[in-house]
Structure 1
Amino acid sequence: MNVITDNLGMIGQGLATTLTIAVIGYACALVVGTVIAVFRVSPIPPLRVLGAAWVTVACNIPTLCLMILAAFAAPRAGVPLSLFAAAVTAIVFSASGFVCETVRSGINSVSKGQIEAARALGMPFGLIIGAVVLPQALARTIQPLVNIFISCLIGSSLAAAIGVPELTNVTQQLNLRYAQAVITFLTSGLTYLAIAFLATQLGGLLERRIAGREARA
């Protein structure tokens, strides 16, 4: 255990970087994915085509490939990105496709009667989506969205491959220094597991609270 206790500061910094990548990546993916989901249900054909193309590309290219391209190909194309920014960008793009499909499924679950009633009141498409559809869609997809956050958390470990000093990268460095693969990677794995478990519990709590409010209403 000395390898862990003697390097808590280094491990803590790696964990902080991991959480930063995951949280920023997820938050941006949630925004981008929701916008793309709106595109996919839009009455404007070019937006629907753009949304479908975005999802096809985002969901079918491995996140590691996206990170490598963002880190090393983007600068050659005149778009300089730090390794940290490349990792976040890749996670945002990849996760946004899955967020889009999750939110779109929530949108499709909203009663058409509510949408027709809003139209009858003269509400424009944007207001219907923002005030009527999206609040219900997001409330109905909390756990799937939490699962996407967990995917972002796990996906952040791929940043080790491009040299970002997050938790997995730090674990690799400690293993190379001390040759203690079992204890270092076990600690790292349990840390990811604990964060994922906490996120699942928080998602369940939020889901129950929303269900309780709807029941009282």
Structure 2
Amino acid sequence: MNKTTLTTVMTLALALMLGSIGFAQTTFTVSATIPAATGISITPSQVDSQTNQFSAVSGTNLSFDPMSLDTQNGIYLPDHFFALDIGATGGAGSPTVTVTYTEGANPNSPGNGLGTKATATFVKVEGTGSSEVQTGLTNHGPKKMLKNLSGEQVDGSEIAGGFLRIYLGIVTGDPNATFPDPTGSEVFTNADAPGTYDGTLVISGTVS
């Protein structure tokens, strides 16, 4: 067998070997389903004005008492404020939240009551603990007098990736505050009538 014949035989043998190798292909679908939110949670906390320490609040009574006179500035202030954390439950998503305040008892009547002397600050919260980042929702003030909350609606898209926190506080008049008090708000002073000032705050939410 000459060289040419040997090469031909080897090539034929290799072709037969390759022809005997099997071939298979399977396509897999890989998936994961995240459930959609089915409800909302509203968690109230009392926050110490000096330490910013949060403590749980039971019930729905958010009292700023005791109110004490700051003799240096001549205004009445509490030693705490409140934080309302509002988020989705049962799955992923962000709720659309609506807030309405209605003035109640007003010893100053026909003058201004708690709706002018207390505020709500709207922030989006992302992260937890030391990594927590708060961003003021400028479409909602981010700080408004309570009396100006009438169907105030925070859309779920505004807090996507986090949750809504609403701070409730008495007007301090501090121009250096992170979020200064809104124009037209008033502090409590000895010029105000003594007595209990109150109102109702209704918060509702929907998920879709």
Bucket of the pairwise TM-score, normalised by the shorter protein: under 0.3
TM norm structure 1: 0.24
Larger fraction in helix: 1
TM norm structure 2: 0.25
